[in-house]
């Protein structure tokens, strides 16, 4: 174990919060991973609630809305308003996509650490 890591967990072992340094690192790491997973799941739930649909449905929705800009005969003001709304939705789509990818990564890491 790295000296810096050992110095950080030794006080926890000395106070009998953990039996060994390895146990301290493993437990703290597991808790951190679970916390990150929970935070990401909360973000995913927030986005699902905001739009009232799953990520897959939202992706199709955003695509369809983008097509409206190209296919519909809109006034300049309508085009501007729709364009701004679509830009905001595309930002949420990207946040949503990144959150799903992060969740998959953290879940994989949890499997490695718990194993």
CB-based contacts of 83: which residues, under 8 Å, 6+ apart? 69
Distance CA 5, CA 20 (A): 13
What is the pTM for the complete model shown?
A: 0.83
Q: What tens digit of pLDDT does each residue of 7-43 get?
A: 999 999 999 999 999 999 999 999 999 999 999 999 9
């Amino acid at each position: 174990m790295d000296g810096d890591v050992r110095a950080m967990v030794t006080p926890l072992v000395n106070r009998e919060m953990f039996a060994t340094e390895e146990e301290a690192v493993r437990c703290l790491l597991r808790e951190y991973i679970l916390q990150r997973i929970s935070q990401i799941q909360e973000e995913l739930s927030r986005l699902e609630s905001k739009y009232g649909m799953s990520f897959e449905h939202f992706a199709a929705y955003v695509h369809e809305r983008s097509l409206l800009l190209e296919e519909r005969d809109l006034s300049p003001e309508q085009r501007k308003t729709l364009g701004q709304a679509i830009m905001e939705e595309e930002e949420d789509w990207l946040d949503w996509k990144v959150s799903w990818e992060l969740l998959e990564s953290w879940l994989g890491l949890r499997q490695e650490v718990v194993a």
